[in-house]
Structure 1
Amino acid sequence: MPIKGSIEDREEVRVLHARYCLSIDTGRYDEWIDCFSEDGVFESPRFGKHSGRDGLKRFTAMYKESLGGAQVLHIVANPAFELDGDRGTGISYLLYYHCKDGKVQQCTVGYYTDKLRKTSAGWRFESRQVTILGHH
């Protein structure tokens, strides 16, 4: 099956995945919100569904509080996505490490299901839904 989307578009989506993880893990929440389209939606089983800039901002406040000072790492692996013009869909694995007092206290695994959209600012997540398969 031929791969759709230019090399540049595909690389921009790969960078978007990395920017998503790096920004939330370093507490740069405005940058994390910018990974989404203006009407973007984030949904997780733990935190619920959050829509638009205001909703995403509320999510980041809840998320920050839930960390209790822990350092976290989101790792996205095996990103597989299809682009068609200025839209796309994708799925990628999620490995989530929760580190406190020098020890990994929790590791969650799951995957993201994405809708992608090319905006005037570049590729963004139109929606990103987290499915959790297990946690320790």
Structure 2
Amino acid sequence: MNTIALSQNTLTADDRDQIRQLIALYSAALDSFDIDTFSDCFSEDAVFEPFGPPGGPLPTPRRGRGELADIVHSFRASADAGWSVRHMTYNILVEGAGDEARATCDYLAVRATSTVFPAVTNERPAHIFASGKYFDEFRRLEGDWKFTVRRIRNDPQPHPYDRWTGEALGTRTATARNADLELNANETPPPKR
């Protein structure tokens, strides 16, 4: 969908509200492992396109509701391992005309451990572990707005630094970094400059 001129942006306030609700429902369904609700947020032929880290490999897009349900399964597996995630979206901008729309929004993902008192168990307390931006496309189908495309761009996360110079290692994959540096887990990193 190309950029829509302001004069052609004919979505109603109700359309915009329904799209914002859909964005919130996506997060709520993902965080509660509700596969049916999560899948129903998308059109049958929807595409989820994650962006990889700059310079890194691009993850494989997921196509159709069946593959999209795998996203929920992966978060469920993480919860079974002892931590949960809460996704929060904000700065939602919506534009569109007729039965097509698009939106952008920022997101934060907070990870929490399985314990109420992490200090007692030496677990890390709740913390932001990811942030980024969604780029969404929607279509109104039988009166309801659905995602047709959801692209996610994760913000760059802090990268390890060279153990000798303190220089950031950039965005190479962990495998490449480890092969180059043969990291020693017991070594103290150099102080930052």
Which band: TM-score by shorter chain?
0.7 to 0.9
Matches within 5 A, 1:1-136: 1=6, 3-45=9-51, 48-67=60-79, 68-100=81-113, 101-102=115-116, 103-120=125-142, 122-135=144-157
- Give TM-score, length-normalised by structure 1: 0.88
Q: Distance in 2 between matches of 1:130 and 1:113?
A: 6
Larger radius of gyration: 2
* More relative contact order, 1 or 2 (CA 8 Å, 6+ apart): 1
Distance across 2 between alignment mates of 1:40 and 1:80: 20
- Deviation by residue 1:43-66 (Cα, 9 ceiling, x = unmatched): 224763111111112332233224
Equivalenced residues, count: 136
- Cα distance in 1 between the residues matched to 2:75 and 2:48: 12
Which blocks of at least 5 consecutive residues in structure 2 are unaligned?
1-5, 53-58, 117-124, 159-193
Could you state the TM-score of these two structures normalised by the residue count of structure 2? 0.64
String of CA shifts for 1:46-102, please: whole Å, max 9, x gaps: 763111111112332233224423121100001111111101111100111111134
For residues 7 and 78 of structure 1, the distance between their equivalents in structure 2, rounded to whole angstroms, comes to 16
User: Given that residues 40 and 125 in structure 1 are in contact (C-alpha distance below 8 angstroms), is that contact kept between their aligned partners in structure 2?
Assistant: yes
Q: Percent identity?
A: 26
* CA RMSD of superposed structures (Å): 2.0
What residue ranges of structure 1 are gaps of 5+ in the alignment? none
Q: Give 4+ residue runs of structure 1 displaced > 6 Å after superposition.
A: none
Query: In 2, distance between residues paired with 1:135 and 1:109?
Result: 9
* 8 Å CA contact retained: 2:105, 2:133: yes
